[in-house]
Amino acid sequence: MASARVPIWRDDRFWKVTLQILAVVAVVAIADFFLFNLRWSIARRGSGFGFDFLGSAASFDIGEHLIPFRSSDPYGRAFGVGILNSLKIMLVGLVLTTLLGIAAGVARFSQNWLLRKIVVVYVELFRNTPILLQMLFWYFAVFSNLPKIESRILVLDTVYLSNRGVVIPWISQGWGVVGLGVLAIAALLTWRWRTRRLVEAGDPGRAGLYILATFGVAAALILLFGLGWSLPVIGTNNQVTGGLSLSAEYCSALLALVFYTGAFVAEIVRGGILAVPKGQWEAAKALGFNNGLVMRLVVFPQALRVMVPPLTSEYLNLCKNSSLAVAIAYPEVYSVSSTIFNQTGRAVEMMLLIMATYLTIDLIIALVMNFINSMVQIKER
Amino acid sequence: MHKYKPLLLAILSVLAAVTVVACSATVPTNTATSPNVNPTGSPTAPAAGKSRLDTVISRGKLQCGVSGDLPGFSFVDKSGKYSGLDVDLCRAIAAGLFGDPEKVEYRNLTSKERFEVLKAGDVDLLSRNSTWTISRDTSLGLEFTATMFYDGQGMMVRRDSNITRLEDLAGKSVCVETGTTTELNLADQMRQRNIDYRPLVFENGDATYAAYAQGRCEGVTSDRSQLAGRRTALPNPDEHTILDVVMSKEPLAPVVVNNDSRWSDVVKWTVFTLINAEELGIDSKNLDEKLKSNDPVVRRFLGVEGTLGKDMGLPNDFAVQIVRRVGNYGEVYDRNVGSQSRLNLPRGINQLWNKGGLMYSPPFR
């Protein structure tokens, strides 16, 4: 039987090798075709490929910038200003979205009927309308309809609202923030030490409580006096000094992103909590935990395991959706880039730069989230 | 047998992919031998002898890129009908080519996408209030034909805002549409005067003027004609005023792609036909009378004598068709942006050269 010749097309090994080779040829050919097409189109349009233009003067202005920018600065710096503006909206957006999403998701399990229903309405309303529409709504229906700066609204004597945006009190001393950070780390360590004593030695933990209280008082003192709060003052010429000015464009884009993505996060949180077996609730309650403690100590940590992977993609969505802020004149990276490619005609180069920027930001977020994911997974010892 | 089915499918798909690549591989070989000749008949760069003009004539319809949301220049009304100065140029070209001004397909383009769409060959020409600048004419690979309208950048503010000069805008916001020379001129003027202001850059015109109408910005800047057009669409036009300052020269001209002089000649000489008709005193009403004229200049212009039209690749009576269907430059101006329109812009420098303006047509001979 062994001597019977197998025809080559019936031979598994032959097909395995041949198919691999064919696949490689196809991939290379297709990639080469597109690259060639790109090069050919560029040559045909009579503009060479290169990034030298980033060094020439931008000669346009950008409305808000975290680093100093004048119209005589180069395109490259303008692009950097755009990236920073994007990061400003992404980072703040991620934090606020997480807070809002978790709060809304957990509130779905509240004993309070009204709260539960409010969250249902919020989630369904914001999840099911396009984000661009929401952005335009915040901008044209909410912020643009606020009074002009001359007749601004003053909230709690500290926050100004006008159609130019929001001015809030802000920190002007750096060391206070450092102090708060140190206190927070110390408090965390104390908390863990106290928990260990509680569990392992059956210690009532009074000492730890006193130390924590001291930290709390110190933190409150720093918050009140150590940060050098600068209150906004609006002068006679309606010029704002002090405080932190957030433009109407920034606020609209941020609110739209946070409320939209927050609705999705709320659903992820709800799903994660539902995924924890009912027995866990019952067991915890049998041990005498109240509802809040069950959620915080037993259910939520287990829910995290299910929540983190889909949460990552919502975070990535938020970052990518931030480019929609171009519709309401917020100068984020896409907006600045589109001005640059209009002035220079360098569409391909600018598109590549924008893609590289979003790719880098999203990959970093994915990396961090994967790390967090590996931390919340069950550790088998 | 069905064990091999996925295998067969895989082979077939790979083969299909390779065939596609093999077919497209003709692109490199062709360009290697003759880099200037377009091998695939793609519409942008014409092969020798093949002009956009032939494409348009064989298609029987002109594809015209316009703005579509700018009253007086190109505007779509509720019934989908286009009107305006830019639109009338498209109609004039169609009248010259086919004797029918309605043989035009309009395409609304934003100021950002317009040049890319033109270069990709998706429209035959741009008649979309585009400013003629050296960099657009040279490095962008475009061909500007003849100026249809001499404009300048202005600034519109609220009448009650007490803003009378650019300096009064210090610390205030200015709305501006992206993708235009407007953004650069504004930055230059403000830098020159050392004024600290805040630009709000919008992606499209409607959002720009909506933000201005809502009071988000104190001023809005654009070409003066555009401001006048937009002002008529604001809730209370009388509450807004256009400052006297002129920030730039903005000659607005129709654009075609480079390296196709037969086609760019047709566009250019259609503009000149409009101007020349006015200069010769020919309009849509007295045209039949003028056709009987003994003046050799008029007879040549109207194609009664000579072969000016034929030589260009158009019907010999193209000027007659243009004037009959669309009118002369003065009629087009008055109807769309001048005294008979809501914009009511004075002729100013858009008057004929012999009446103190800049409108000048080279001779038809």
B300-to-A151, B136, B179, B318 alpha-carbon distances in Å = 68, 35, 43, 12
The confidence score (pLDDT) of residue B60 equals 93
pLDDT of A270 higher than 60: yes
Classify residue B329 by burial, with Cβ atoms within 10 Å: 0-12, 13-18, 19+. Answer: buried
Q: Select the highest-mean-pLDDT range: A194-203, A341-350, B13-22.
A: A341-350
Q: In this complex, do A345 and B45 lie within 8 Å of one another by their Cβ atoms?
A: no
pLDDT of A378 higher than 90: no
- Give the tens place of pLDDT for each residue, B110-160: 887 888 899 888 999 999 988 898 888 888 889 999 999 998 888 999 888
* CA A290/CA A287 separation, integer angstroms: 9
* CA B30/CA A381 separation, integer angstroms: 66
Residue A237: list chain B partners with CB under 8 A.
171
Residue A163: list chain B partners with CB under 8 A.
214-216
pTM for this predicted structure = 0.70
State the best of A25, A44, A81, A241 to mutate against chain B, taking most chain B CBs within 10 Å: A44
Give the CATH class of A75-172+228-376. mainly alpha
Domain positions in chain A are 75-172+228-376
Report, as an integer, the average pLDDT of A67-96.
Answer: 90
The confidence score (pLDDT) of residue A3 equals 57
- Tell me, yes or no, if B206 comes closer than 8 A to chain A by beta carbon: no
Mean pLDDT is lowest, of A60-69, A85-94, A164-173, B29-38, for: B29-38
CB A230 within 8 A of CB A242: yes
Mean pLDDT over the full length of chain A: 84
What is the pLDDT confidence band of residue A45, given thresholds at 50, 70 and 90? Answer: low
Report, as an integer, the average pLDDT of A209-238.
Answer: 76
Helices A248-274 and A113-127, axial angle in degrees (round to 10): 120
**pLDDT tens digit at each of 365 positions of chain B:** 455 555 555 555 555 554 444 444 433 333 333 334 344 444 444 445 688 999 999 999 999 999 888 888 998 988 989 999 999 999 999 999 999 999 999 999 988 788 889 988 899 999 998 889 888 888 888 999 999 999 888 899 988 888 888 888 888 889 998 866 788 888 888 888 888 888 888 888 888 998 898 888 889 998 888 888 888 888 888 888 888 788 888 899 999 998 898 999 999 999 999 999 999 999 999 999 999 999 999 999 999 988 999 999 999 999 999 999 999 999 999 999 888 888 878 888 899 999 988 999 999 98
Interface subset of A 218-277, CB within 8 angstroms of B: 237-239, 248-249
Interface subset of A 333-362, CB within 8 angstroms of B: 335, 338-339, 342-343, 345, 347
- Tell me, yes or no, if A25 comes closer than 8 A to chain B by beta carbon: yes
DSSP-assigned beta bridge partners for residue B142 = B257
State the best of B9, B193, B201 to mutate against chain A, taking most chain A CBs within 10 Å: B201
Helices A113-127 and A75-107, axial angle in degrees (round to 10): 140
Residue contacts between A and B (CB atoms, under 8 Å):
121
**Closest to B236 (Cα-Cα) out of B288, B341, B145, B159:** B159
Residue A248: list chain B partners with CB under 8 A.
216
In chain A, the percentage of residues whose pLDDT exceeds 90 is: 32
A357 CA to centre of own chain:
15
What is the pLDDT confidence band of residue A218, given thresholds at 50, 70 and 90? Answer: confident
The confidence score (pLDDT) of residue B16 equals 55
Nearest by CB to A71, from B119, B191, B203: name it: B191
- Give the tens place of pLDDT for each residue, A129-146: 999 999 999 998 888 888
Interface subset of B 21-50, CB within 8 angstroms of A: 21, 24-25, 27-28, 31, 35, 44-45
- Tell me, yes or no, if A37 comes closer than 8 A to chain B by beta carbon: yes
